[in-house]
Amino acid sequence: MDAFVVRPAGPLSGRVRVNGAKNSSLKLVAAALLAEGRSVVRNVPDIADMRVMAGVLAHLGADVDHDGDAWSVDVPAVVGTATPPALAARLRASICVLGPLLARCGRARAALPGGDRIGSRNIDMHLGGLERMGATVEFGPDFVEARADRLVGADIDLEFASVGATENLLMAAVRAAGTTTIANAAREPEVADLAAFLNAMGADVRGAGTPTVEVRGVGELRPATHQVVPDRIEAGTFAVAAAVSDGEVELEGVVPGHLRLALDKLRAAGIEAEAGDTTLTVRGRGALRGVDVVTLPYPGFPTDLQPQFLVLLSQAAGTSMVTENVFDGRFSAVAELARMGADAYVEGHHIIVRGRRRLRGATVRATDVRAGAALVLAGLVADGPTVVLDPHHVDRGYADFAGRLRALGADIERRGVPARAGAA
Ligand code: UD1
């Protein structure tokens, strides 16, 4: 059985280049399905989720290839309309092919998605929006199927600013007849990135990145080339690694403006964070102070940085309260961190962290991509060694996480551990 083994090695220092955003790349390659021909997406991270998505697209008939971080997706005149269950079960984002396939083919069957187990993760808003555009939706035992001879523009009010629903509806609306307005749309930079790609394909999307997105449907789209926006969550994870180890790390290839609230929280906790145009220098200054954090859709504090911040707060003076508003089950890092000596517990949708507890090395288990990354960060400051089981969760979203931390001075290796370690 595979694991990350992390030992304390003092402050991290050096530079790290941040990759393109996972949550953008996955949708961009799906959007390529909207046009016949070869689209190219650059700055795509080398992560396991992308490989699964490539399998989904290949199953639909696309020819997917990559040269370094440039992915080409060549889409034939006729594409399949059903996603493969085995792959979809491993990747929630696979649901995002529903919108583009329906727009392109008039029907789409998506195997019900998997991905991180961090709450109920419904798709009712995706489906309700498609129905508003004239689709009929039916459920099978393990799939959902949508059909529409021609989608028609509609006014859609989202109950919650869901990232996935906004993106799926956007990809459906670009080829619908007439205008679609999505109110209470997600404002994440990845949504704006998707809209920019769609516009490069010939779509007419306005207002992406604001709460109201307007899409005028066009008949045909053409393939396009696009550069993926930097991954703000990867950047935030390395920022916390620098902060918690009391180190100094320069992040390259970031958009600091996408991390504003996270940086405010780091500064309030006593960390220096210096933003350049595309760089961010994060510097520890000794004593950390506790801060309260509330996760919310963008521009609120990202839920995808919540577990990493728990590690930082476990080392900060005072008591901090972290409130999780986006996912109802995103607390798995708490129990694992507690096994390492953190004084943290869940109360309703709050996590209470009493800080300045010495972390001790233990055998812990990654249960999702961000919780896994957080446990690795905890290992940086624990009296080692810390063994993080199930590192494949981390591979889903971070390219060569261990190697890049090692380049910053961390003592981390990936190796086989006896199976009984998993029983711990
Ligand atoms: C995306 C990101 C994920 C991030 C999340 C919130 C990808 C691949 N994943 O996930 O990393 O944590 O945004 O920033 O981009 N919901 C419903 N009904 C729906 C849709 C969503 O109830 O139809 C609920 C979900 O259960 C969840 C909340 O809304 O509690 C937020 O979900 P959403 O914003 O859709 O997240 P994802 O797109 O799944």
Q: Are residues 294 and 237 in the same domain?
A: yes
Looking at residue 91, which CATH number applies to its domain?
A: 3.65.10.10
For the Cβ of 245 lying below 6 angstroms from any atom of ligand 1, the answer is no
pLDDT band at 423 (very low <50, low <70, confident <90, very high): low
Kind and range of the H or E run holding 171 = helix 163-173
pLDDT band at 92 (very low <50, low <70, confident <90, very high): confident
Q: Name the nearest CA neighbour of 271 among 257, 250, 285.
A: 285
Which atom of ligand 1 is found nearest the CA of 120?
26
pLDDT in tens, 19-30: 999 999 999 999
Q: Are residues 301 and 198 in the same domain?
A: no
Q: Are residues 332 and 247 in the same domain?
A: yes
Whether 125 contacts 165, CB under 8 Å: yes
**Residue type for 97, please?**
V
pLDDT in tens, 330-383: 999 999 999 999 999 999 999 999 999 999 999 999 999 999 999 999 999 999
Pocket test for ligand 1, best of 53, 56, 117, 121 (most atoms within 8 A of CB): 121
How many Å apart are CA 279 and CA 324, to the nearest integer? 29
DSSP 8-class letter at 358: P
Number of folded domains that form the chain: 2
Domain boundary among 207, 227, 247: 227
For the Cβ of 165 lying below 6 angstroms from any atom of ligand 1, the answer is yes
Residue with tokens 């006014």: 155
Mean of the per-residue pLDDT values of the chain:
95
pTM of the model: 0.97
Q: Are residues 239 and 279 in the same domain?
A: yes
Name every residue whose Cβ is closer than 8 Å to that of residue 198 and which is 6 or more positions away in sequence.
31, 34, 170, 171, 174, 205, 221
Name every residue whose Cβ is closer than 8 Å to that of residue 184 and which is 6 or more positions away in sequence.
157, 158, 159, 160, 161, 211
Ligand 1 center to residue 1 CA distance, Å?
31
At 35, give phi and psi (nearest 5°).
-135, 140
Q: Determine if the peptide bond prior to 45 is cis (ω within 30°).
A: no
Q: Are residues 75 and 113 in the same domain?
A: yes
pLDDT band at 312 (very low <50, low <70, confident <90, very high): very high
Q: Are residues 262 and 133 in the same domain?
A: no
For the Cβ of 126 lying below 6 angstroms from any atom of ligand 1, the answer is yes
Domain boundary among 227, 246, 269: 227
The C-alpha angle 418, 421, 423, rounded to 5 degrees, equals: 125
Q: How far is CA 295 from CA 342, 367, 417, in A?
A: 21, 19, 35
What is the maximum alpha-carbon separation in the chain? 62
